[in-house]
Structure formats: structure tokens, C-alpha cells
Structure 1
Amino acid sequence: MISARGSVVPPLASPRFFSPPLSVAIVGAGPAGIHAAGALAELAPGTKTDVFERLPTPYGLVRYGLAPGHPESEKFVHSLHATLAASDFRLFCNVEIGKDLSVEDLRSSYDAVIIATGAPRDALLDIPGVELPGSFGSAEFVAWYNDHPDSSLQWPLNAASVAVIGGGNVALDVTRMLLAEAKSLQATDVSAEVREGMAGSRVREVHIFVRRGPADARFSPNELRALGELPGVDVVVDAADVAPDRHIERMAKQSVHTRLAVETLRTFADPSADRTSHRRVHLHFYRQPTEILGSGKVEALRVERTVPDGYGHVTAADTCTDYPVHAVYRAIGFLGTPLAGVPFDHGRGTVTHRGGAVVDESGSPVAGLFVTGWMKRGAAGLIGAARPDARQTVETMLYQLDSVGERRADRSGIARLLGAGNVVSVDWDGWLRIDAAERDLGVKYGRDRVKIKDREVLVGIGTNLPVHPQ
């Protein structure tokens, strides 16, 4: 592991005990922040940990980023719940750092601050027409169908033909939800408003465009198979795009994941397959968007052919095709959001760091400031990657704090600062009340849970105010 000074930091062989105990603030209660709290409980027992979250509920990406009915979602929730329940921590949901409290407020009140705010922004697609009505970032759509408190109340699903740009699982999630039948959501936790919106969808055809080839796309085999199992939907791939070549076969030999994905894609290219469904997905490889066309709204997407070089790279072929679509969804990645007082790499959308220790423009460590999760490494890797990543950051932090002399941090003033700003926070018991209320709604509608979307209602339940879900 690399420290902020560039030297090797040996992994901790045994727990570190500090006297007095450390006090640490974690900004973000998603997988990255929660696993950081778990690593602190394991590696530095007795640490006084406070977790801050701008939303009224914890779990971040697990609660608001996975497609409804995702088979792993409950497992992730149970894991994160168990991690927090086993940690000595305080939870402050509905508290936004940078607005309700500053990073400097935290740095002056804790021995260390760990930034774990994720990557909530869509990466930019710099092509003409991207601002036309009907051009959407995938994060907006994902937030809507997951009942995110800050998302739109309604979503326009009135385009019969839609383009999705991207070669990862988010593109597949977006496509599946664009074509999902409302009845398939009956057993999930989405609200009645989302189900009603899906019931009115006019989407009949989705074109997915991937700049490189099938061996370099980041589709997981399971997600591809789930796409192929959508009822009433045919998935079509051009056989030429998945034909054997040196690069595809080499990558398939090196990775079981790649081999299974390519095999699944080739079943979609089978010319003998029975394709009689009234809805269809077209997976196009070696295509890159160059312009969104339209007069006042999206009317077509111009796509340029790319040519592979046999080593995983592609070059433009100067051959373009216009696809008549009336909505475009961009699923090309996510970026972190700058936080005042934290050095930020605007090009990468991440906090600048070494081994999880935040560094300034000169490369010098910023005392007591650390980062983990997608704000550290970019929006890459599955949710399970958050645990080892958080452990690395915590080990770096403990190594540094071991060499620090007397600590004088006092977290007792945080409650006073929140009170002075009339900030109403939701604690762990408050979250448990929200959780119970959502499960009660689920019982009412014959499901395990129904999410509550309204922020005011969530905060009311979480703070024991006299507000109840409808």
C-alpha cells in the first residue's frame, strides 16, 4: 500500500488502540462510507465514528442505484446493516456537508475525516445536440425509478424508439427498465407512481451503442442474460460484431467473465433464433455517437463506425449512420462532485490522493483528510470492491495518525453547530423507524417493502415528527 508520502505502508497486523480513542467523521453513508466505519471498528477498536449523509436514509448506491428487483440488493442491504450495527458510531442523515456543515467544521472537530460521497453526476458527452430535450443522463433516470428523494416525480416514456449510449451494466439496467412491463415490478420496492409511469411507457425499441467490441465492453454475463430474459423482448446482435478474431479469442481465454459474456452475445446473434416479439433491443458494437440531431427536441442519433486494431483499441472509420430515435440516454460513466475544502481533480471527477490520503496541488498530504470509494478511484468496480478499498484508506489513515502527537479534536460541538443552523438530522433509530414504515407499506400492498420517496415524510418519520406516509 502507498502512503501519502509515496512510501510503502505495511498492512496492519493487529488492531491499533489509541488513547484517547480516535474520533473520525465519515462523509457518505453508502457502501464506501459504511465499510470505512466497519474497518475502523475492526482495526481501531474504540474509535468514535460519526457518519454523515445528505439524504434522509443510508445505503446510497445500494438503495438508489441498483435496478428494482436486483437479486443482490437485499444481500447488500443486510451486509451494510450488519456492518453498521456492529460498529460504535453515530448516524447523521439529512445533513449535507458543504451546506449544513463545512469540511473545516469536521476537520476541527475530529482527528480525521474520510470523504465517501460517491459519484452522483453523469460523465459528460461532448457532442453537438446533447442538450436537446429528450437527451438524458442515466443518473436522472436511475434516480427516478428508484424513488430517490431528489428525483423527478414523473418521467417521459413517450418515445417509441430510444438510444442508449454505453458499454457497461448501467446501460443494460437502463435498457431493461425502459422495456420493463409494469406487472414485472409488482414484487419490487418501487412506488405506485413509478409503476404507473412504466405502465404508460411507449418504448418499443432500444438501440445500445458501444464504441469498442464485445471483448472490451463491461457487461457482466448475468446482466446480459437478464436482458435476454425480458418477457416479450427480442435482443439482436449483428453476427459480424461478435465474429471470432484474435483479440476477442485472446481476451476470452484470459477471462471467464469475458468468455461468458461473448458467448451470451453470440446467442443473440444466432440467425436461427425466433424473433417475433413486438419489442426489441439492438446491441451495436464498434459504434460511437457523433451528434444528437433534432429541431427543438431529439429526432435522431448520428453514429460513426469504428474499426478495431486487434488489441482492444478502435479508430474512427468516417462512416456515419443516422438512427431515428426520439430519446437518448447517456450511460458512459459517473463523476464525483467537488466539495469545498477538498482538493479535486475535475478531469477525473475524483479527489486527489495517495493511497487514500488526500493531497493538495503540490502533492503534500492534507492533514487529517482521507478519501475512499468512487470519489477515490473513480466510478469503476462492483459494489463489493468498496470493502477492500475502504480498508486500504483506513490503514493509511491509522498509519499516519500513529505518528501524530497529542490530538485535541472534540466532536461534542457538532450537535451545537447543527442546532444553530436548525438542521434536523435522522439518526440510526430514525432510520430503523423509516425502515419499519416502508416494510409496513409493503405489507399493505403485498410486498416486502415499498419505498417512501418524499423527503419531508422520510424526515418526519425519522425524527418522530407527526408525519406519516400515504
Structure 2
Amino acid sequence: MLKASRGRSLTVLHVAVVGSGPSGVYSAQSLVQQDRVPVRVDVLDRLPCPYGLVRYGVAPDHEKIKSLQNNLRTVLQDERVRFLGAVEIGPGGIAARDLLRLYDAVVYCVGAATDRHLGVPGEELAGSWSATEFVSWYSAHPDAHWNGALAAAESAVVIGVGNVAVDVTRILARGADELTGTDMPAAALAALAASRVRDVHMVGRRGPSQAKFTTKELRELGSLADADVLVDPAELALDPHFADPSGLPAAGRRNVEALRAFADRPAQGRSRRIHLRFFLRPVELLGEGGRVRAVRFERTLPDGLGGVTGSGAYEEIGAQLVLRSVGYRGIPLDGLPFDEQRGVVPNAAGRVLREGVPSPGEYVAGWIKRGPTGVIGTNRPCAKETVGSLLEDAPGLVQQAVRTDPLEGLRAAGLRPVEWTGWQAIERAEAALGASLGRGPVKIGEWDALLAAAREDRAG
């Protein structure tokens, strides 16, 4: 780790990367792997913990994907890179313009922080949540807000057919004993153990050939110990590609084949049931006593142009818990321009554009640059492109005055950044918590507890 006492050099490019998820860490990696100009990189994050969606978005039972943290960790431990958590950009923290005064360049990798809404009546009813909120809760995100909606539910509807929808469907249908070996927080594990949800309906408005989930995630539903996967062959047959998927791209073809296999498999009478539904468009959440009791759908039909059209036929699916998983959207970052229509910071090859003109020293990468598209690996070439733009601009970016270490500037702004040793202290606290519960490391999900654990490295 770089020492806080280091000064600024006229020959070194000092860069702040805002966001420690994959796009941020890949940006840092691209910066330190090049040999065109010496660099020092501070990776800032609003949270005291690194790794972004790899820590807070990947399902706890997906150990292989979560192991990507080891690769990100290697970058953050590079001697030219420094992690600084608990650094807020904007109100309550440091303004973007002031951050740029501390560094030669700033790369914003803040992702797409909010979810899209359905825009239908009843969406505000108790029991109606975004899948993002549910994921944040069982992933111990310190901003998670969950009011025990699971306790009142016997049936759940998940609206959407992407990988996040599959994740939340699987967690709802998976036995808690299968999750004990994960880092899921104790409160979430207990709530899932007590859950009375027996039917989970995952619903898409288009057909199986257009679903966004990956075949690996889809097939995983069929491996759950105590859940049947139910698919209606007649509903699948509405898709023009159902009978002969050979003309589809490989991913779509494999999805259709997997769904056909589910449809051919007889139910085993297990205690939970996953219903995979297609060609149903939500039109209203129906309530009773202020709580959701059902979702009203309109049957859709292929329009021959890749979309669907309403049929005028309707169906209700009873549910006391509704999770929408219909996409993400970027939100404005204080001090940066924002394209409201696209939900991104306007940019050209990663250079932030203010009124159509590149803003010196300001860059973006990841979802806030291109929108919520692609998988984790997509962030690598995206970050590389942005860093390429930054390096082209480098001769005009290096500040001409020797100033103090940016960390001192952050502290002068009233911030108390959590350094790498603080994150290591959090890891030790999570390991101790898990040991006290007879488990492996268990995530801490409260702001106060995380910051208290991080400060232990100073106390020691």
C-alpha cells in the first residue's frame, strides 16, 4: 500500500478512481499495467468495503463468481494503488470539483445505482419491492431497507427473466440449510429459514427465446434439492422458435432446450415449486388492506417483429411478495452532467462531455458510461478504452504544483477514509462473527458496525 506521507511528483500522474467494483478496479489495473507514464491510483468508494457488486450483487451461493474478489484484491494490493473507503462524492462528502483539485484525473465508475419501475397501478403496495432491494438485504449491503415482507408471504412473483430474477427466485426456493455455508448475514438466513413461501412465479412479458438469463443460471434452478421447476408446454409453444430453435443464437437455443427439458420432466412433489411463465405483461398489482395480494397480467402474443402485443386476455397470480427485476438505471452524480434519457454521463470514449466538449481530467467507465449492459467481464475492455483516452490526455493533465497527498485533502474536507488495513479489520470481524455462529465468515451489514470494525486497525 502507498503510504499517506508520500508527496506529489511532477512526473507521476495521480488518478482517483471512484468506485471499487469491477469497472473501477479494472480501470486501476489498466492504469498500472501500462508503461507510458508513471501513475499512482487511489480507488475511492462510498462504502468502507471494496468490490462493489461482486460483494453486494453476486448471490451468496455463487462461490465461483464471488471468487473474482481474489483477482480484484490483487489489483488493490498493488503498491501503486490505494483503497480509500467511506468517501462520499457530493453532499456530505467532497464535491466533484474539489476532488479534481486533489488529483490530475478522476475516473467515475459508479455503476447504475437504481432499478427501473414497472409503471403500473399498485406498485407502491406493501410487499412490492425491487429485486435490487432484496439482493441488497441478503447480501448485507449497509443501505438495505427490508421490513420483513418475506414473513407475510406464501407465494411470490418475480417479474423479469434475467439473471438477477433467476438469482432471487433461486434464493426464495432454496432451503436455508443449503445457504448456511455462505456468507449470508444471520438475519437474512433466519428469515429464509422461517419463510412460508412455497410457490415462486418468475414471469416474462416475452417468450423464452428472448429471455436474458444465461443457460447455466437457468439450469441451476433444476438442481435445487427441494423445489420442482414447472413449465407449461403450451405457453412455450407460443414462441415461434419453440418447435425449432436451431435458427437462434447459441444462448437462446440452449435456453429453449433447457426449458423444453423442464417441461418434459414430471413434478416430484417437492415442498417448493418454481413456475416459469412467459408472454405475460404486468398491468396492475392488486391489494387488500394496503398489501399486495395478486398481480394482474395481460397475455401477450408475438408481433412478428421481435416484440409482443396485448391479446386482451388477463390472468391473476396470487402473491404476497412481488419483486420486480426489469433493469437498472444510472442516477445523476452531484457535479457531473447527466443524460436523463439514457441514464448515463455523456461521454466520448470515456471522456466526460460538458455541453458537448470534453471536460479536462474527468472520465467515466462501466455502467455509468455505457448503460447497464453486459456481464462482469464486459467492464474490462470498457475500462481499457477509458484509460486509453486518459493516457492520451496525460501530457495536459499533470498538475504543475507540488501539493500534499490527496488523502490529506480528503481528511481536510472532513472525511475519515477507511484504508486497506481498515478493510482487513472488517474481514477479521466478519470471520470472528462467523466463527461465533459456527459458520465461515459472515457479512456485517450495518454502517456503525462496519465503521467500528474498520477503526480497530487504528486502535490496535
Q: How high is the TM-score relative to the length of structure 1?
A: 0.89
* Residues 10, 400 of structure 2: 8 Å contact kept: no
CA 1:406–1:69: 2 relative to 1, 3 Å = closer
SS of 2:67's partner is helix
**More deviation in 72-81 or 58-67?**
72-81
C-alpha separation in 1, matches of 2:459 and 2:304: 61
CA 1:147–1:405: 2 relative to 1, 3 Å = closer
SS of 2:326's partner is coil
What is the percent sequence identity of the aligned residues? 42
Aligned: 1:368 with 2:355: no
One-letter amino acid of the counterpart of residue 29, structure 2: G
Question: Could you give the per-residue CA deviations for residues 235-267 of structure 1, whole angstroms, max 9, x where no partner exists?
Answer: 111212333965457865453222222111111
Runs of 5+ consecutive residues of structure 1 not aligned to the other structure: 1-17
Counting only pairs closer than 5 Å after superposition, residues 333-372 of structure 1 correspond to structure 2 as: 333-360=327-354, 362-372=355-365
C-alpha separation in 1, matches of 2:398 and 2:197: 63
SS of 1:351's partner is coil
C-alpha separation in 1, matches of 2:452 and 2:221: 39
Aligned to 1:134: 127
Aligned to 2:17: 26
Match among 115, 123, 135 for residue 116 of structure 2 = 123
Aligned: 1:242 with 2:233: no
* Residues 241, 248 of structure 2: 8 Å contact kept: no
Aligned to 2:423: 431
Match among 411, 415, 418 for residue 419 of structure 1 = 411
**More deviation in 298-307 or 319-328?**
319-328
Match among 46, 68, 72 for residue 54 of structure 1 = 46
Deviation at 1:87, TM superposition (A): 5.3
Counting only pairs closer than 5 Å after superposition, residues 261-300 of structure 1 correspond to structure 2 as: 261-270=255-264, 273-295=266-288, 296-300=290-294
C-alpha separation in 2, matches of 1:337 and 1:447: 37
CA 1:242–1:464: 2 relative to 1, 3 Å = same
CA 1:117–1:72: 2 relative to 1, 3 Å = same
C-alpha separation in 2, matches of 1:219 and 1:129: 27
Match among 378, 382, 385 for residue 375 of structure 2 = 382
**More deviation in 307-316 or 342-351?**
307-316
C-alpha separation in 2, matches of 1:251 and 1:392: 36
**More deviation in 109-118 or 42-51?**
42-51
Deviation at 1:328, TM superposition (A): 1.1
Question: Could you give the per-residue CA deviations for residues 36-59 of structure 1, whole angstroms, max 9, x where no partner exists?
Answer: 000000125521111111111000
Aligned to 2:254: 260
Aligned: 1:177 with 2:171: yes
Counting only pairs closer than 5 Å after superposition, residues 217-228 of structure 1 correspond to structure 2 as: 217-228=211-222
Aligned to 1:306: 300
SS of 1:294's partner is strand
SS of 1:464's partner is helix
Runs of 5+ consecutive residues of structure 2 not aligned to the other structure: 1-8
Match among 365, 385, 388 for residue 395 of structure 1 = 388
C-alpha separation in 1, matches of 2:213 and 2:88: 34
Deviation at 1:447, TM superposition (A): 3.7
C-alpha separation in 1, matches of 2:267 and 2:101: 65
**More deviation in 436-445 or 72-81?**
436-445
C-alpha separation in 1, matches of 2:18 and 2:382: 15
Aligned to 1:453: 445
Deviation at 1:422, TM superposition (A): 3.5
CA 1:176–1:148: 2 relative to 1, 3 Å = same
One-letter amino acid of the counterpart of residue 346, structure 2: T
C-alpha separation in 2, matches of 1:366 and 1:280: 53
Aligned to 1:3: none
Aligned to 2:201: 207
Counting only pairs closer than 5 Å after superposition, residues 81-160 of structure 1 correspond to structure 2 as: 81-86=73-78, 88-98=80-90, 99-152=92-145, 155-157=148-150, 158-160=152-154
C-alpha separation in 2, matches of 1:363 and 1:251: 45
SS of 1:299's partner is strand
* Residues 162, 326 of structure 1: 8 Å contact kept: yes
* Residues 26, 114 of structure 1: 8 Å contact kept: yes
One-letter amino acid of the counterpart of residue 83, structure 1: V
One-letter amino acid of the counterpart of residue 448, structure 1: G
Match among 397, 400, 403 for residue 408 of structure 1 = 400
Q: How high is the TM-score relative to the length of structure 2?
A: 0.91
CA RMSD of aligned residues (A): 2.3
Question: Could you give the per-residue CA deviations for residues 37-85 of structure 1, whole angstroms, max 9, x where no partner exists?
Answer: 0000012552111111111100010001011120323421111111222
Aligned to 2:3: none
Deviation at 1:171, TM superposition (A): 0.6
Deviation at 1:413, TM superposition (A): 6.1
Match among 69, 94, 117 for residue 77 of structure 1 = 69
Aligned to 1:64: 56
One-letter amino acid of the counterpart of residue 115, structure 1: Y
One-letter amino acid of the counterpart of residue 85, structure 2: C
Aligned to 2:320: 326
* Residues 110, 409 of structure 1: 8 Å contact kept: no
